[in-house]
Structure 1
Amino acid sequence: MTTTEIKNSAAPEIRNFQITFDCADPERVARFWCEVLGYVVPAPPEGFADWDAYKASLPADGPLAGFVCQDPTGVRPRMYFQRVPEGKAVKNRVHIDVRVGTGLVGEERLAALEAECVRLEALGATRGTLLLADEYNESCQNMQDVEGNEFCLD
């Protein structure tokens, strides 16, 4: 397509999307991210009072293969966690930045990052490297979730 053809073509339809994580324990990782982001676990399948009742209905050798967490307002993307047989072997190619210090600089930003880091460590996250501000970027805190997936507090 030429530049003119692109400019004259109809705008593409905006698509909804979800973020999918490979993991060993989908429910554990999903519930962690619910706490981090203020997301919720959706209602269990029809006919079940809660997720425990649903899990009890599954064969003993067939634990949940996936679990979801979603934004209660429906605005932010849904997150899907799927069980995979292999463990995490290398650094993520894509990661989530949890925006806790937006608009803050200097010591105020560091204090906000530290407070959130402490909260997330209590949920099972692991603290990584604190990257201090330079002439191009503000400070951010590298973290890992309960299964070692990297994310940043920034």
Structure 2
Amino acid sequence: MAVKQIQVTFDCAEPERVARFWCEVLGYVVPPPPDGFATWGDFDRSLPPDRQGAAFACVDPTGVGPRLFFQRVPEGKVVKNRVHLDVRVGTGLVGEERVAAFEAECARLVALGAVRVRLLRADAYNESCLVMQDVEGNEFCLD
């Protein structure tokens, strides 16, 4: 069976704002607009008023990571995410060196609008991770 590509979809209030945040977090880029449009703004203005600003996407420029798609939904976030992204900044690191890598990345992401939630210290079963929220409150971890 062939490997399938995946796309990670985020429900949100402001798709472009959230997409641009994740571009900065992951080093992703906004893909080119559809044929016939010079910019995404031009494309967006071609849509019916109720569809303008309803979606945005970003992609891994290397083509390795999944496409991220952001879609506007009417309801706000009310409970913890059942699925979240782990941003792997501590791979291969342990102890205080791992935590220091988290703290450095956390500071960068807070400057972009993320919120630090809590540091989960290593125990007998798991290595440390740092729980955060994106610009709309979606949980993710620095792992």
With structure 2 as the length reference, what TM-score do the two structures score? 0.94
Return the offset for 1:146: 0.5
Q: How many residues align?
A: 143
Paired residues for 1:1-154 under 5 Å: 12-154=1-143
SS of the residue corresponding to residue 75 of structure 2 reads coil
Q: Distance in 2 between matches of 1:122 and 1:102?
A: 23
Q: Which runs of 5+ in 2 are unaligned?
A: none
Moved more, 85-94 or 40-49: 40-49
- 1:85–1:108: structure 2 CA closer, same or farther, 3 Å change rule? same
The residue identity in structure 2 corresponding to 1:114 is E
SS of the residue corresponding to residue 141 of structure 2 reads strand
- 1:61–1:17: structure 2 CA closer, same or farther, 3 Å change rule? closer
CA contact (8 A) 2:45 2:52 kept: no
SS of the residue corresponding to residue 65 of structure 2 reads coil
SS of the residue corresponding to residue 22 of structure 2 reads helix
Q: Deviations over 1:29-49 (max 9, x none)?
A: 111111111111001122222
Return the offset for 1:56: 3.7
The residue identity in structure 2 corresponding to 1:100 is V
With structure 1 as the length reference, what TM-score do the two structures score? 0.87
CA contact (8 A) 2:16 2:56 kept: yes
Q: Distance in 1 between matches of 2:52 and 2:109?
A: 27
Identical positions, percent: 73
CA contact (8 A) 2:21 2:135 kept: yes
User: Residue in 2 aligned with 1:6?
Assistant: none
